[in-house]
Chains A and B, each alone.
Chain A
Amino acid sequence: MRISVTINGTSFSDEVEPRTLLSDFIRHQAGLTGTHVGCEHGACGACTIQLDGQPVRSCLMLAVQASGRSLRTVEDLAGPNGRLSALQQAFTDHHALQCGFCTAGFLMSADALLRDRAGTHLTEAEVRRELAGNLCRCTGYEGIVAAVLSVADPPLAAE
């Protein structure tokens, strides 16, 4: 079956089998290997992307289901010339990654969270709860939560 999607603002079209997972389509056919595949059954969140702006697990969709939709992957976060987004820079500054396998998923979840909650006060507890669907097996979560809170707008209120 031939499908056409928009990935990071660019049209892309290719043949897929019905059973091709969206995560494999993004990595193997579109060549965007920033999206990582961990558990492949929806438990780890590493493959999280944004579908029409909403975070979804790309291993839990068939590629054919994305036809006509707009996808955003981690490659779209940095600006031209590879300049990191504020969230990405915060991950670096707060040591929010070690091996980096889970990072793309965390970034795509956190990017949507920060956008959806812009203008409201995010608490540490909320960030932990909202990112509970992404697993990190090396740093723990302290640096990740600190990174997200550091770029929350408005900033975290002193308690």
Chain B
Amino acid sequence: MKPAPFRYAAPDSLAAALDLLAGGNARPLAGGQSLIPMLNLRLVRPGLLVDLNPLEELAGIELREDGALCIGAMTRQAHLLASAVAAAGWPLLCQALSNVGHAATRNRGTVGGSAAHADPAAQLPVALTALDARFHVRSIAGERMLPAADFFRGRGVAGLAPGDLLVAVEVPPTPRGTAAAFVEHAKTHGGFPTAGVAVLHAPARHSAIALLGAGPAPVRATAAEHALSGGASVDEVASLAAAVVGDDHRRAVIGALARRALEGVTT
């Protein structure tokens, strides 16, 4: 239950961190709320840990002139949860985050770490998928931007190659009047949910539904989204959302959660 030995570096600039990550057999350490358990259990044995915590340039929440919310990868989950700017424009993020772990883990856990870890039971990736977030990835070769569908690729698999670092998550604005709901089913509060549903809805303008527990990565329920835009009933939309789930139990749970979420945004 102790980590295997590794080398440790705490670079003082993003450029230095990217150089170290390019060296091979290195892993970035963000909030450590997933990586350190994996180290303790010896599920991973990196040669070098590159600690991003000293890099203040990666932490912070910025409302850009184009209306997008730019969240630095090292922004603590607790910081985003307490952000008035996020609560006003992107309440789905705060609703999802209130279910993520506990105060003691949110004080360390980061937005970028949660995204890059790509746990299929994590709430933030599902909310970010519903919000059409874009992921800014840097390496010594340069920067690129990935949409959510290309970033969340599978169970624990993000669109990151060795040497890549997620540096920021950009969340575009939603149309004025968009209602949001995030509901989940977990055995205990703060535990990993077995299923969840994120819904955004602005009548006749915008609909997005993303599912947690429907697959190895967040799933957009596109048929249900179209039905919601077209004014279908809560039951119809929920049935369409649940229909994308293969497993019987999860389909039933997601159907029930979808109804609850839809009632939250349509009444």
Q: Which residues of A contact B (CB under 8 A)?
A: 1, 17-19, 21, 24, 40-42, 45, 48, 51, 54-57, 59-62, 64-65, 109, 112-113, 128-130, 132-134
Given A1-B8, A40-B40, A133-B104, 13 further pairs, Cβ under 8 A: A24-B2, A42-B37, A42-B105, A54-B107, A56-B108, A57-B104, A57-B108, A60-B33, A60-B37, A62-B8, A62-B36, A62-B49, A62-B51
Question: A102: shortest Cβ distance to chain B, in Å?
Answer: 13
B205 at the interface (CB under 8 A from A): no
With a CB–CB cut-off of 8 A, which chain A residues contact B33? 42, 57, 60
A interface, over-half SS: mixed
Which B114-173 residues have a C-beta within 8 angstroms of A? none
Question: A31: shortest Cβ distance to chain B, in Å?
Answer: 19
A57 nearest in chain B by CB position? B104
Q: Which of B5, B32, B108, B189 contacts A17 (CB 8 A)?
A: B5
A48 nearest in chain B by CB position? B104
Report the interface size for chain B: residues with CB under 8 A from the other chain: 31
Q: Which of B6, B32, B39, B103 contacts A55 (CB 8 A)?
A: B103
B176 at the interface (CB under 8 A from A): no
With a CB–CB cut-off of 8 A, which chain A residues contact B188? 132
B175 at the interface (CB under 8 A from A): no
B3 at the interface (CB under 8 A from A): yes
With a CB–CB cut-off of 8 A, which chain A residues contact B203? none
Docked complex Cα distance between A99 and B106 (Å): 28
With a CB–CB cut-off of 8 A, which chain A residues contact B3? 19, 21
Q: Render B1-27 as a binary contact track against A, CB cut-off 8 A, 1 for contact.
A: 111111110100000000000000000
Q: Which of A17, A21, A56 contacts B104 (CB 8 A)?
A: A56
With a CB–CB cut-off of 8 A, which chain B residues contact A1? 8
Residue pairs across A and B with Cβ atoms less than 8 A apart, 23 shown, are A1-B8, A18-B6, A18-B49, A24-B2, A41-B1, A41-B40, A45-B104, A51-B107, A54-B103, A55-B104, A55-B107, A59-B40, A60-B32, A61-B108, A62-B8, A64-B51, A65-B32, A112-B103, A130-B102, A132-B102, A133-B101, A133-B102, A133-B103
In the complex, the 9 A-B pairs of residues with the closest C-beta atoms, listed nearest first: A133-B102, A18-B8, A41-B37, A19-B3, A55-B104, A132-B189, A40-B1, A54-B107, A60-B36
With a CB–CB cut-off of 8 A, which chain A residues contact B101? 133
With a CB–CB cut-off of 8 A, which chain A residues contact B40? 21, 40-41, 59
B4 nearest in chain A by CB position? A19
Asked if A64 and B8 make an inter-chain contact with CB atoms under 8 angstroms apart, the answer reads yes
Asked if A45 and B102 make an inter-chain contact with CB atoms under 8 angstroms apart, the answer reads yes
Docked complex Cα distance between A134 and B105 (Å): 11
Asked if A130 and B103 make an inter-chain contact with CB atoms under 8 angstroms apart, the answer reads yes
B53 at the interface (CB under 8 A from A): yes
| Of listed A1, A24, A109, A133, residue having the most chain B CB within 10 A | A133
Asked if B104 and A109 make an inter-chain contact with CB atoms under 8 angstroms apart, the answer reads yes
B230 at the interface (CB under 8 A from A): no
B67 at the interface (CB under 8 A from A): no
A24 nearest in chain B by CB position? B2
Docked complex Cα distance between A57 and B106 (Å): 10
Docked complex Cα distance between A31 and B190 (Å): 31
Docked complex Cα distance between A55 and B96 (Å): 21
Question: B147: shortest Cβ distance to chain A, in Å?
Answer: 31
B41 at the interface (CB under 8 A from A): yes
